[in-house]
Amino acid sequence: AQSVSQHNHHVILSEAASLELGCNYSYGGTVNLFWYVQYPGQHLQLLLKYFSGDPLVKGIKGFEAEFIKSKFSFNLRKPSVQWSDTAEYFCAVNARSGANAGKSTFGDGTTLTVKP
């Protein structure tokens, strides 16, 4: 079975600080990786995804993530955060094939608070 671990439960930053949220997964096969964002009171929205090609993927609102296969990691980064980035961030993984294909497993989430 696949699993996802997000190491930081709550991150507090000041505006303009750099952000890196950790995500590690465990699964023996090939996976697709996602980051979702949930703004306060809203539903989850896809921030970015990786399934093949360049391991550095760029998403909306200046976010990017790097897939490091050898470390089973897919960390989310942003060079300079804004107050509007305050939200909860979820890393997710799903297997490319097999019984778990298409069923995304989510991490516990990281709450980001950006102070103005």
Partner 1 sequence: NAGVTQTPKFQVLKTGQSMTLQCAQDMNHEYMSWYRQDPGMGLRLIHYSVGAGITDQGEVPNGYNVSRSTTEDFPLRLLSAAPSQTSVYFCASSPRWEGVANYGYTFGSGTRLTVV
The site for partner 1 (CB under 8 A) is made up of: 4, 9, 32, 34, 36, 42-46, 49, 51, 90, 94, 96, 101-109
Instruction: Report yes or no: 78 and 30 within 8 Å, Cβ to Cβ.
Output: no
Instruction: Report yes or no: 99 and 1 within 8 Å, Cβ to Cβ.
Output: no
In angstroms, give the least distance from the CB of 38 to partner 1.
9
Reported residue count of the chain is: 116
In angstroms, give the least distance from the CB of 71 to partner 1.
21
Interacting residues of 14 by C-beta distance below 8 A, sequence separation 6+: 114, 115
Choose between 17 and 44: whose C-beta lies nearer to partner 1: 44
Cα 107 to Cα 35: distance, rounded to the nearest angstrom: 10
Choose between 42 and 82: whose C-beta lies nearer to partner 1: 42
Choose between 28 and 102: whose C-beta lies nearer to partner 1: 102
In angstroms, give the least distance from the CB of 101 to partner 1.
6
